[in-house]
């Protein structure tokens, strides 16, 4: 069967468009530097927390001049470590995940406010200008002792 030249052009043109759309949707975000799915190091399997180099031992670690990383695990009904001891007047980046169900990670009076979701790592940075104690509370319902789930951040001078 003979296909008219214009019909061929339209066929080819529409195929190019379709493939183009698929490529855009699949890879477009990469070119823009936006990642639609989390990078691998922002995920962690809840069942493998004990073997994870970040969360196997929840802790605060110095990562630069006046820069610290706090690795925090939320689980029913505690935060680890507790207390979380950080230096005041330093930038502290919190990496927070959950070992079991969804918890909250909220420090009133600061910008620290996230959900601790099993499998995911929430990241947020803060600088405590004033040395002191800051209460940390779980503000996502997580079970029978949700209302008792709290921790403490101690910003040391």
Which pair of structure tokens corresponds to residue 7? 């019909």
Would you say 88 or 146 has its CB closer to ligand CUA? 146
**Distance of closest approach, residue 89 Cβ to ligand CUA, in angstroms:** 30
Closest to 112 in 3D by CA, of 146, 136, 147:
136
d(CA 96, CA 119): 10
d(CA 140, CA 148): 12
Give the count of residues interacting with ligand CUA (CB under 6 A). 9
**Pairing of β 122-127 and β 113-116:** unpaired
Q: Which stretch binds ligand CUA (CB under 6 A): 20-28, 30-38, 107-115, 142-150?
A: 142-150
Among 122, 149, 153, 155, binds ligand CUA (CB under 6 A): 149
Among 107, 112, 122, 138, binds ligand CUA (CB under 6 A): 138
Among 140, 151, 153, 155, binds ligand CUA (CB under 6 A): 140
User: Could you tell me if 138 and 149 are in contact, meaning their C-beta atoms sit under 8 angstroms apart?
Assistant: yes
**Distance of closest approach, residue 116 Cβ to ligand CUA, in angstroms:** 8
d(CA 114, CA 128): 17
Please report whether residue 103 would count as binding ligand CUA according to CB under 6 A. Answer: yes
């Amino acid at each position: 069967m003979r296909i008219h030249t214009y019909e061929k052009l339209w066929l080819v043109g529409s195929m190019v468009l379709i493939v183009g759309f698929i490529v855009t949707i699949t890879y477009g975000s990469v070119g823009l530097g936006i990642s639609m799915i989390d990078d691998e190091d922002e995920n962690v399997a809840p069942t493998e927390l004990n073997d994870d180099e970040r969360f196997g031992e929840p802790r605060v670690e110095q990562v630069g001049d006046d820069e610290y990383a706090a690795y925090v695990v939320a689980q029913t009904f505690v935060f680890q470590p507790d207390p979380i001891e950080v230096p005041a007047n330093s930038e502290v980046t919190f990496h927070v995940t959950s070992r079991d169900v969804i918890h909250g990670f909220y420090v009133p009076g600061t910008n620290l406010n996230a959900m601790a979701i099993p499998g995911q790592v929430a990241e947020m940075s803060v600088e405590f200008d004033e040395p002191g104690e800051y209460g940390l509370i779980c503000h996502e319902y997580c079970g029978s002792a949700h209302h008792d789930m709290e921790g403490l951040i101690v910003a040391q001078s």
